[in-house]
Structure 1
Amino acid sequence: MKREYKIVLLTYLIMQLSSPVGVPFTYYLLNGLGFSGKDLESRSLSLWLLFSFSAAFIVTLYCLRREMRFRSQKAASFPVSAFWASAGVFLALFGQLAAARIEMLFGVEPGSENTREIIGMIEKAPAIFLVAAVFGPILEEVVFRKIIFGTCMQRLGFFPSALISSLFFSAAHMEFEHLLLYTAIGFAFCYVYRKTNRILVPIFSHVSMNVIAILSQLDPKIFSMF
């Protein structure tokens, strides 16, 4: 694995594990600056998420800056890529729906606690929309599709590589009752990435899917805060 990929993986891991330290630090900092109120804890969490995801995003872009200058000879043309970028949204939504139906057969309640928490944070701090709809999906596609799936594909076939990548993707969301659901979504993004060899394709699909999911659940009044 490339050195740059290792740095990106380490950065992503640190970002994921940073909240227990970063949120109290942000709370202490805000409190020291004179901020107060019962919503200070939620503000601290929102600010730390925005900072940590933004920092990880910048580090990732810096590490991959050389790769972004060159187009792979195996990369699909723009029209083909545009088709699969759009198709990826529907494949992911279909996979999510099918997986949710299967989960219900085993008594798993529909709906995502993770999504509800994100919606709650966005309603209190609209800037978190950038984390959930932009920074998060981009980082996840780079880590789970470009690096993990791409590295596994050098030695394994599509299915084992997609399974490994998607299971890690699912575990990162910390909702193990929805393991099948996130794995199905991961497979959809692996598929469109494999079809085009352009990481921007699953990134577009993932960002679009998150935007749809968030906007469909947000209180319309939130837009007056932007």
Structure 2
Amino acid sequence: MNRRYWWIIITFLIIQFSILPGQYILYWFGVEIERIFGMWNVIAFSIGLVIMLLLLRKDMQDRHLVRDRTSRGDALIWSIIGIFMAFAAQYAAAFVQMVILGFEPGSENTEIIVEFAQAFPLFIIVVAIIGPIIEEIVFRLVIFGSLYKRFNFWIAGILSSLIFAAMHGDFQNLLVYTAMGLTFAFLYVKTKRIIVPIIAHVAINLFVALVQVVFADQINDMINEFEEVQQQVLLFIGGLL
């Protein structure tokens, strides 16, 4: 692994652990406690992404030298396919966890993120866009890419995906994160373009953000209205019988 990639990993780790001093800095400036996590992550992840992109300037300049790189048109097609693949992998892994392993559905990690996003809405940008871009750079381009030079796809994919899963700290959903990591790794290998798994990852996170944060109230209202209509229909049918 070259020195630039090591600096990318170091930058990522600094982002992850910067919340410890960051929370005191924002608290000192009078920021409300419930908004601190979201606000600091917007600052830290934005700066971190800029640093990583600067470190990747040489890779971006030499990207045309990559052999068997798919065309832009094929990359777009695979990006769309990748979104459905990522959703399928996520739900298949969740089904295995629930039915075979007996785990309760849902993610505590996601619930915590939703709470922070509700307290500081701009945090959604990190969840849906900046975060997935950084994670694909770190876990697919750097870690998986380096392992793939020494091992086959499955060894490199599983190892990098387990690290990807562990970094989320949601060990009950380890299988879900691993399955998604393998899907993103496959898209990267298939197209030789990191933008493809980035698009698929962003789409997944954006969907979750829209459903659980932006349109959460409207969706709950629709569900309640549907349940009320369903009850009225059942009462009507019961009256006829």
TM-score w.r.t. length of structure 1: 0.90
- Aligned partner of 2:71 in structure 1 is 77
Deviation at 1:69, TM superposition (A): 2.2
Deviation at 1:22, TM superposition (A): 1.4
Q: Secondary structure in 2 aligned to 1:111?
A: coil
2:88 to 83, 94, 101: 94
- Aligned partner of 2:210 in structure 1 is 215
Q: Secondary structure in 1 aligned to 2:57?
A: coil
Map 1:61-76 → 2, pairs under 5 A: 61-70=53-62, 71=64, 72-76=66-70
Select the structure of larger CA radius of gyration. Answer: 2
- Aligned partner of 2:104 in structure 1 is 109
Structure 2: state its 5+ residue gaps: 219-241
The letter of the residue matching 1:11 is: T
Q: 1:123 touches 1:222 (CA, 8 Å); kept in 2?
A: no
Deviation at 1:45, TM superposition (A): 1.4
1:190 aligns with 2:185: yes
Map 1:160-175 → 2, pairs under 5 A: 160-175=155-170
Moved more, 72-81 or 179-188: 72-81
- Aligned partner of 2:229 in structure 1 is none
Q: CA RMSD in A?
A: 1.6
TM-score w.r.t. length of structure 2: 0.85
Map 1:3-82 → 2, pairs under 5 A: 3-28=3-28, 30-31=29-30, 40-70=32-62, 71=64, 72-82=66-76
The letter of the residue matching 1:146 is: L
Q: Secondary structure in 2 aligned to 1:208?
A: helix
Identity across the alignment (%): 37
Deviation at 1:221, TM superposition (A): 8.1
Aligned length: 215
Structure 1: state its 5+ residue gaps: none
Q: Secondary structure in 2 aligned to 1:155?
A: coil
List 4+ stretches of structure 1 deviating above 6 A.
Answer: none
- Distance (Å, rounded) in 2 between the aligned partners of 1:219 and 1:67: 36
Q: Secondary structure in 2 aligned to 1:66?
A: helix
